[in-house]
Chain A
Amino acid sequence: MAKQNGQDINFGRSIRQVLFGLTLFFLFLIFLFWRIDNPRAEQLRVSILDKVVPNMEWALAPITRISQIVDDFQSYGRIYEQNQELRRELQQMKAWREAAIQLEQEKARLLDLNNVKLPAKLSFISGVVLTDSGSPFRQSALINLGQNDGVVDGWAAMDGLGLLGRISGVGKNSSRVVFLTDSNSNVPVTIKPSNQKAILTGDNSLLPVLDFIENTDLVQPGDRIVTSGDGGVFPPDLLVGQAVLTSDNRFRVRLSADYSRLEFMRIVRHSPGLPITDPDRLIGPKLPEDVEQAAEGVDG
């Protein structure tokens, strides 16, 4: 009896070993799938998050709110200095506003003289931050806009002032915004007065690196950095930040967007120009399928 029992245990053990091996093999297959067909795997991840996170919102929202209240409460401690600081800044802002208005008027006059046609103004959708990436090694956030709001992969996310990142992964009701600070983020930018092109590469720090600058001698700390629009992902001339020179003699960017108090963000609606694939597409936009078929039917 005891011997049989022992055999049972041995049998159970070998089944367990086989199952364990199968699990490892299965995990390896899943990793291969993730590595080879990364966009589809990430889409899968987004759709899982999309199922779960909006259901958790009722629980997430109060806790997020409480943590913000604690933050706000801490800032009461230095409310006086803050007030002084804000007053000084407001004074400076007034001066800038004056300058901006004058420039605006001048620009309008010049445009009028040139009779320039402006592109359709970029429009925004505003979204609320639902969750962060869940890992300190990834810099991203989940927002409450998705396919249902017409969000498309690659659109730019901004706070009121500067660029935050891009949409990467769209679910039905939520989508992921990968920040400029993420190590997977590479954005083509222009350094403003000198018009140098560079690539802004995130490295998990608050100051992303400016890589591939053509001529670093022409770049000064404090230069404005805007998106260049190369590659057709971002619209050109979105404000990114200012160049700074760090002690390791590299140019980095102090971002204009404020990541510390991020509750809402704006998603820039942007449709890049249609790529020209066939020669006959040069003439006009592609007709919808049914119209084309109807036309063929008439021909026949």
Chain B
Amino acid sequence: MKDTKLNLNWLRQVALFLFACLIIFYQLIPFSLIPGALPSPDIMFCAICAFIIRRPEIVPFWLIGIIYFTFDVFESRPFGVWTASILIMTEVLRANRNAFRENLFPFEWIAISTIFILALAVNQIFLVMSIVPTPPFYNLLWQFIFTVLSYPIVLFIITYVLRVRKPALGEFDVKGQKI
């Protein structure tokens, strides 16, 4: 039993961080410098939410913090606000993750969309309150739509390619605690 359950979480965490670096790398390539490009979906958010529902130990809050703060630095955003909004909303999701245990995908999809739009709202409200210029509304709407649409794809890859699934009832984790 002990041999089959090696603690490989740190490896998964490093892999997730490298994936974040890849996303930043892609974002920085100067494909087009014409303004008005549509925002790309927040793939990282989809992946993190899918992991939180399935294996929360892979994405501890400090990893989310590090990843999103790196995004903040490289994507010329105000420092910290978007990170904090994502942290708060993913923590809400983590606290309620038992609700997803036996529920179907549409419920999960709606919940994730709500959480993303709430994170956008928290970010936007905080920036407006501190009088920082914010991106136009329709751009955020597009980002929301793209992110929601990409969630099933990310989930498909995570479930069937990476084979990370919800723990079955009565399964134990590495430390021998009931999940």
Contacts and interface: CB of A to CB of B under 8 A. Distances in A.
Interface of A: 5, 9, 16, 19-20, 23-24, 27-28, 30-31, 33-35, 41, 45, 48-49, 52-53, 56, 59-60, 63-64, 67, 129-142, 179, 181-184, 202, 204-206, 259-260, 262
Contacts of A19: 61-62
Given A28-B80, A140-B76, A131 B29 contact: yes
Interface of B: 24-25, 27-40, 61-62, 65, 69, 73-81, 83-84, 87-88, 91, 130, 132-133, 135-136, 139, 177
B24 A27 contact: no
A41 B79 contact: yes
Contact of A31 (B65, B80, B87): B80
Given A53-B28, A141-B30, A20 B91 contact: yes
A49 B72 CA distance: 12
Nearest to B65: A23
Contact of A60 (B29, B39, B77, B139): B29
A39 B37 CA distance: 27
26 contacts: A16-B61, A23-B62, A27-B84, A27-B87, A28-B84, A33-B79, A35-B78, A35-B130, A45-B73, A49-B73, A63-B29, A129-B33, A132-B33, A133-B76, A134-B24, A135-B27, A135-B77, A136-B40, A136-B135, A138-B75, A139-B35, A140-B76, A182-B35, A202-B35, A205-B35, A259-B35
Secondary structure type dominating chain B contacts = loop
A200 to B, nearest CB: 14
Contacts, number: 128
A27 B33 contact: no
Contact of B33 (A35, A53, A260): A260
A71 to B, nearest CB: 9
B28 A131 contact: yes
Contact of A134 (B38, B74, B135, B177): B74
B61 A20 contact: yes
B28 A132 contact: yes
Contacts of A59: 25
A294 to B, nearest CB: 45
Contacts of B28: 53, 56, 60, 131-132, 134, 142
A49 to B, nearest CB: 7
A41 B35 CA distance: 25
Contacts of B133: 183-184
A137 B32 contact: no
Contacts of B33: 129, 132, 139, 141, 179, 259-260, 262
Instruction: Across the A-B interface, give the 10 residue pairs with the lowest CB-CB distance, nearest first.
Output: A137-B135, A131-B28, A27-B80, A31-B80, A134-B75, A135-B75, A34-B79, A132-B30, A134-B27, A30-B80
B31 A138 contact: no
Contact of B35 (A53, A67, A181): A181
Given A28-B80, A135-B76, A204-B136, A67 B31 contact: yes
B84 A204 contact: no
A148 B81 CA distance: 33
A205 B62 CA distance: 37
Contacts of A129: 30, 33
B59 to A, nearest CB: 13
Contact of A260 (B32, B38, B65): B32
B33 to A, nearest CB: 5
B144 to A, nearest CB: 13
A17 B34 CA distance: 44
A23 B87 contact: yes
Contacts of A52: 74
